[in-house]
Amino acid sequence: MIPSRMKKVVLVGPKDQRERVLSLLHDLRVIQVEPIGKEALTYFSSEKGGATERSIADTTLRFKTLVSALPKVPVETRQHFPDTKALLAAAASVTIDDQVHTLKRQEDELVTREENLREELETLREFEFFQEDISLLRAKSIFSFFGSLPSAKFAPFRSETLALSNDAYVSPGASSADGKQTRFVVVVPRETSEPFARLAHKIGARLIAVPDELRGTPAEAAKVTEDHLGRVRRDLAAVRDQLLRISKEWYPKILPIEEELIVEARKNEVVGRLGQSDSSFALEGWVPAKDIPRLDAELRRVTGDKCFVSSRDEHEGAPTLMRNPRGFNVFEFFIRFFSLPQSTEVDPTLVFAIVFPIFFGFMLGDAGYAGFILVVCLWLVWRIGNPNAGKTYVPKFLVKFTTTVMPPPAMKQLAKTLIPGCLIGIGLGVVFDSYFGFPLSVLTGGHFDWALIPWSTPAGQPNVLPGQLVYVAKLLLLTVYIGLSMVTLGLIFGIVNAYYHKNWRHLAGKVCWILVAWGVTLAGLSLVHHYPGSWLIADHSYFDIYVGMLIVGAIGVPVTEGVLAMVEIPTMVSHVLSYARLVGILLASVILAYVVNAIGITGTSTQAALVTHGVGYAILAFILVLIVAVFNIILGVVEPGIQGARLLYVEHFSKFYGGNGHPFTPFGARRRYTRPQLIEQHPELRP
């Protein structure tokens, strides 16, 4: 539950071993290198890059440009560069820069020309109704445009334009295929350009300047433009073929060089954080405590016991490395969205991964809606993971809206986190006998009994609440205990954090808050007499004990946390009661679906359904039920998701969570196209 324990590490070694050490650290990826501390600077000085470092930086930029310019081709082999000298020599052997840059410049120019010609061709084809020579529309004294606007606005636009000048001209309109737009050609004298521009803006006309250097009618010009576009596309294909031939020959050589250059550039960045003397160097950083013995052993092996590593416990500034079991770590999405935990506090991911799906499924509470959302989530996970799987039959406006709200990778993560909640929702929907708001009892000729849960008042107990309100009352009472449990768990985590930091006063304060929460909740429940003796109600005979817990806790809180902490007691009560929203959202969805289904399809014991009143009413009933189903599906994703996360963020996290941690970013990266020298010589070092 606590993130990986971090230790501050100081590494000292001879200067002639620095390159080997940095290479090892890069490929092990276990240390986050920090700038050398002030104390160490009394013995070491900061190091600045030289000619080799500048050469690496310049060559890295050069190869990044080459890689971005060349078409990608598969690279299956790995290369090895024994040292920086060999790497720079391999980079110097690549002599295709001028050729690639020339071809790339030609490609960019041809792509621009192709786009312009394509747009010009589309415009000309839209205005083929104009039978005059386009060259007549170009004169120094006039402005000429191809235009379009909604058909209903064409007549007033034409009359107002002609009223601007006797020399103005607006061609007869030509309707688009759907009849909603009218296309036209307009010519206005230059002296009326400003009032014409205001008129066009007011009416909402779309204007395109008549293309230059075209002759003949739009139909004739379109044929010339189409031939020109064909030549440009052939030239573009030829340039791309040349780039592809170059890429097939050089890409497998260039990509490993680029990767090794990036590695060397990272090492040079780290060099600026080191300390150095005439004969030695020093390095500081954060390492997970579990990796320190391995790091020490491998450093000694690679350098021949010439490197010394020391570590110390330090909390201030320590980065956070979350460590959650596989399958649960997908819920780190929610924790990172809220705030990354500090390295010395409880990581709530595991609790979130268990509790959030339960809350989500409980608030959903319908097997039909949960099943539909489950299918959508599974499809999203598959589709985003396989973007080239085929055409997607989803409206473009919906895709644009969802990707604007949330990028596809985050959407995939969210879909994964909703899958367990949907499964729980299906199970609870079966228990609640709710399938898109319909109970299966309808199939046997019965009516919806709203038996959300198979509880009944125990034998011999009075039922003072009418009808199915018994079930609602018990569900509400159950949420009180859920709230009390979550608040208590948060306070227990606060105790763990206080123990870790040896803050005994704060630890005692958390214990007092637990007494307050339990005392006020149980004392309040014991005063409820609707169901005397029910297992959901606190036993009234222990009322004095509950009050005693409340008094002890209320006295202890100001002693341990300060007098001002007393104002938080009502907040504690509200946090416990806040979990009643679980039932509220469940009922909002279920009752809405039940009422609409009863009105439209199932009917009630006293009123017939709309479907029994004829075809027209049956269609109306179907539309009504469909609209409510879509609304409930949207509500079933948004409300349980938001409220479930909110209950954890506010009512649970506030008892222990500080956040504002910064992630552990180890020095190094995975190699895909190169083989490091140290790993080749020592296979046991392979991460």
386-390-393 Cα angle (round to 5): 110
> pLDDT tier at 395 (50, 70, 90 boundaries)?
low
- 3-state secondary structure (DSSP) of residue 167: coil
The mean of the pLDDT values for the chain is 84
Residue 538: per-residue pLDDT: 62
Q: Which two tokens stand for residue 16?
A: 């002639």
Question: How far, in Å, CA of 492 to CA of 260, rounded?
Answer: 49
Average pLDDT over residues 92-118: 94
Name the least confident of 170-179, 313-322, 393-402: 393-402
Side-chain-side CA neighbours of residue 226 (13 Å): 10
Residue 676: per-residue pLDDT: 76
> pLDDT tier at 67 (50, 70, 90 boundaries)?
very high
Name the least confident of 79-83, 211-215, 545-549: 211-215
Enter the DSSP assignment of 650.
Answer: I
Average pLDDT over residues 422-432: 89
Question: How far, in Å, CA of 95 to CA of 18, rounded?
Answer: 32
Question: How far, in Å, CA of 370 to CA of 354, rounded?
Answer: 18
Cα–Cα distances in Å, from 571 out to 145, 306, 487, 513? 67, 59, 11, 11
Which helix (H) or strand (E) segment holds residue 198: the answer is helix 193-203
Q: Which two tokens stand for residue 97?
A: 């820069």
Is the per-residue pLDDT at 466 higher than 50? no
Q: Which two tokens stand for residue 593?
A: 């679906």
Question: How far, in Å, CA of 70 to CA of 348, rounded?
Answer: 46
In the chain, the percentage of residues whose pLDDT exceeds 70 is: 87
Enter the DSSP assignment of 78.
Answer: -
Name the least confident of 567-576, 600-609, 656-665: 600-609
Q: Which residue has the higher pLDDT, 462 or 222?
A: 222
Average pLDDT over residues 602-624: 72
Cβ(450)–Cβ(472) below 8 Å = no
Place of tokens 């606590």: 2
Cβ(22)–Cβ(302) below 8 Å = no
Is the per-residue pLDDT at 325 higher than 50? yes
Cα–Cα distances in Å, from 260 out to 20, 70, 80, 247, 672? 15, 18, 9, 19, 10
Burial category of 284 from C-beta neighbours within 10 Å (exposed 0-12, middle 13-18, buried 19 and up):
buried
Average pLDDT over residues 331-354: 91
> pLDDT tier at 615 (50, 70, 90 boundaries)?
confident
Fold classification of 109-224 (topology level): Alpha-Beta Plaits (3.30.70)
Cβ(447)–Cβ(427) below 8 Å = no
List phi, psi (to 5°) of 322: -75, 145
Question: How far, in Å, CA of 272 to CA of 274, rounded?
Answer: 6
Enter the DSSP assignment of 173.
Answer: P
Q: Where are the domains of the chain?
A: 109-224, 346-655
Q: Is the dihedral of CA 587, 591, 594, 600 positive or negative?
A: negative
**Of the candidates 355, 605, 593, 634, the residue with the CA atom closest to the CA atom of residue 452:** 593
> pLDDT tier at 682 (50, 70, 90 boundaries)?
low
Mention every residue, 6+ apart, whose C-beta is less than 8 A from residue 383. 389, 392
Residue 391: per-residue pLDDT: 64
Cβ(307)–Cβ(21) below 8 Å = yes
In the chain, the percentage of residues whose pLDDT exceeds 90 is: 33
